[in-house]
Amino acid sequence: MRVLNYDLFEPEKITVPAPATLYTKINESARQQALVTPEELRPEMNELPDEKELARRFDMYNFVYFKGKLPRVRVIYSNRMTSAGSYSPNNRIIKIGRRYHEIFPEEINDTLKHEMIHILNLKHDQVFKKEAERIGASVKAQTHPALSRPPKYVYTCPRCGQEYPRQKRLRMASCGKCSRGGAYDERFKLKLIRSARKSLG
């Protein structure tokens, strides 16, 4: 009768897995989804994601790029704007230009990330540029010439002559070049020189 020698067998090494938290699971899931290429997310037949999907992508990018620290904002479509997107800090709304993205649907994720940076920094300054480079977003929101409308109003600065074409009438606005620190200055209040409703001369 043979005796079984247990010393010949290597005991199985059992390691205890590291504890996982809900945050790490969500973060890892979001990170995996963010690895999807823009081509894979490109809408077919110009079908854009609905606003519920935009909110989901906001949450995903928030976890992946901002560690979930951005405050919750509404993400909605605008049928009127001709630019790619905008962020309004007063009512905390990101607007995505529907008309623009019907032409360029592949840019919708880039636009969303661009506007998310504006939650932290409203200006396109060096801080913004560094954040855009870090998360892979464009620095400047784009417009498309086919969507441009002739301005309803044209204002000018009484000092430097800089013209400001606008779709909406301005009430209290001064020249951005002549006013210090972007604050309103009565001396450089913009003057209406042209209107779609009447001719000024």
Supply the CATH number for residue 119's domain. Answer: 3.30.2010.10
User: Does the pLDDT of residue 13 top 60, yes or no?
Assistant: no
For residues 167 and 183, membership in a common domain is answered with yes
Number of domains in the chain: 2
Is the domain of 86 the same as that of 172?
no
- Supply the range of the domain harboring residue 32: 22-146
- Residue pair 85/94 in contact by the 8 Å Cβ criterion: yes
Query: What is the rounded average pLDDT for all residues in the chain?
Result: 79
| Pairwise pLDDT comparison (36 vs 143), residue with the higher score | 143
Q: How is residue 47 annotated by DSSP? A: -
Rounded distance between C-alpha atoms, residue 99 and residue 79, angstroms = 6
CB 97 within 8 A of CB 84: yes
Verify that 58 and 128 share a domain, yes or no: yes
Query: What pLDDT does 112 receive?
Result: 96
Do 107 and 174 have their domain in common? no
Give domain status of residue 2, yes or no: no
Q: Are residues 53 and 128 in the same domain?
A: yes
Q: Indicate whether 14 belongs to any domain.
A: no
Reduced to 3 DSSP states, what percent helix, strand and coil does the chain have, rounded to the nearest 5?
40, 15, 45
Instruction: Read off the pLDDT of each residue in 148-160 and give the average, rounded to a whole number.
Output: 86
Model confidence at 54: pLDDT above 90: yes
If you average pLDDT over residues 96-106, what whole number do you get? 90
Residue 8 maps to a domain: no
Examine the domain organization and report whether 75 and 48 are in the same domain: yes
Give dist(CA 18, CA 99) in Å, integer. 48
Whether residues 114 and 43 fall in one domain: yes
Query: For residue 57, is it within any domain?
Result: yes
Contact assessment for residue 34 and residue 61, using Cβ atoms and an 8 Å cutoff: yes
Same domain? For 94 and 168 the reply is no
Using the predicted structure, report yes or no on whether residue 10 has a pLDDT greater than 70. no
Q: Which of 1-5, 40-44, 87-91, 131-135 has the lowest mean pLDDT?
A: 40-44
Which of 141-145, 154-158, 174-178 has maximum average pLDDT? 154-158
